[in-house]
Amino acid sequence: MAEGYRILAVGVGGQGILLFSRVLGEAALREGYPVAMSEVHGMAQRGGVVETNIVVGAVRSPYISPGEADVLVALEPVEALRALSRCRKEATAIVSTDPVVPQIVKDGLATYPELPPLLQRLRGVLPRVYLLSGEELAQEAGSTRALNVVLLGALAATGVLPFGREAFLAALKKAVKPAYLDLNLRAFDLGWRAVESAR
């Protein structure tokens, strides 16, 4: 990662990936790193796939090609598996283990993969995989809508980026409305502690 850091964030519509990416980018900028982002959010409002590519440092392209991601942050486990080929073999992954069952599965037209083999595959391919129930921690913070901020706290605690907790918190305070700040700070702290206890 000498020239920079490539962070791939994936999930489905409604999980707050865009806010996640905005706070991450703001944290990097506050620490003096150049940032570029690109987003894919086609059917986001209908539970479709959402991803953001965030590149920090001296990386020219805002798109992360197969085998390039240094960090994978997945707010949904199947999306983590789908993005696995985009990761370097040394990449770090932070994955929320709570499935979001798509409508096609609810309609009985497809099946959702079994979770234990899926998570085992992630751990078999990447050297550092942090698994946490992001929804449970977000609920503990006060709302499942804070899942994205739980994952931000978890990412900050990994120490894989060249900026830490204070930069993330300053960016979070700037991005979140004051009425929701305490909830989001609790969510960040719970994500942080989940990774700290797993290290």
Q: What is the mean predicted confidence (pLDDT) over 40-67?
A: 83
Element (H, E) at 24: helix 17-30
Task: Report residue 47's pLDDT band, with 50, 70 and 90 as the boundaries.
Answer: low
- What pLDDT was estimated at residue 45? 56
In this predicted structure, what is the pLDDT of residue 43?
A: 59
Query: Are 153 and 168 in contact, with CB atoms under 8 Å apart?
Result: yes
Can you tell me the distance from the alpha carbon of 47 to that of 145, in angstroms, rounded to the nearest whole number? 14
Q: Which of 7-16, 87-96, 101-110, 154-163 has the lowest mean pLDDT?
A: 101-110
What is the tens place of the pLDDT at every residue in 184-196?
A: 999 999 999 999 9
Q: What is the pTM of this model?
A: 0.93
Strand, helix or coil at 91? Answer: strand
- Residue 141: per-residue pLDDT: 97
pLDDT attached to residue 60: 82
Token pair listed for 37: 């982002």
Evaluate if residue 23 carries a pLDDT over 80.
Answer: yes
Q: What pLDDT is stored for residue 42 in this prediction?
A: 63
Q: What is the number of residues in the chain?
A: 199
Q: How confident is the model at residue 1 (pLDDT cuts 50, 70, 90)?
A: very low
As a dihedral over the C-alpha atoms of residue 21, residue 131, residue 67, residue 2, rounded to 10 degrees, the angle is 70
- Quick check: helix, strand or coil at residue 134? helix
* Long-range contact pairs involving 134-137 (C-beta distance under 8 Å, separation at least 24): 134/75, 134/96, 134/97, 134/98, 134/191, 135/96, 135/98, 136/98, 137/187, 137/190, 137/191, 137/194
Letter string b/e over residues 133-152, b meaning 16 or more CB atoms within 10 A of that residue's CB = ebbbbbbebeebbbbbbbbb
**pLDDT tens-digit profile of 130-149?**
999 999 999 999 999 999 99
Instruction: Map residue 70 onto helix, strand or coil.
Output: strand
Task: Count CB neighbours of 120 within 10 A.
Answer: 12
Question: Are 63 and 38 within 8 A, CB to CB?
Answer: yes
Kindly report the backbone phi and psi dihedral angles of residue 10, in degrees, each rounded to the nearest multiple of 5, phi listed first.
-135, 155
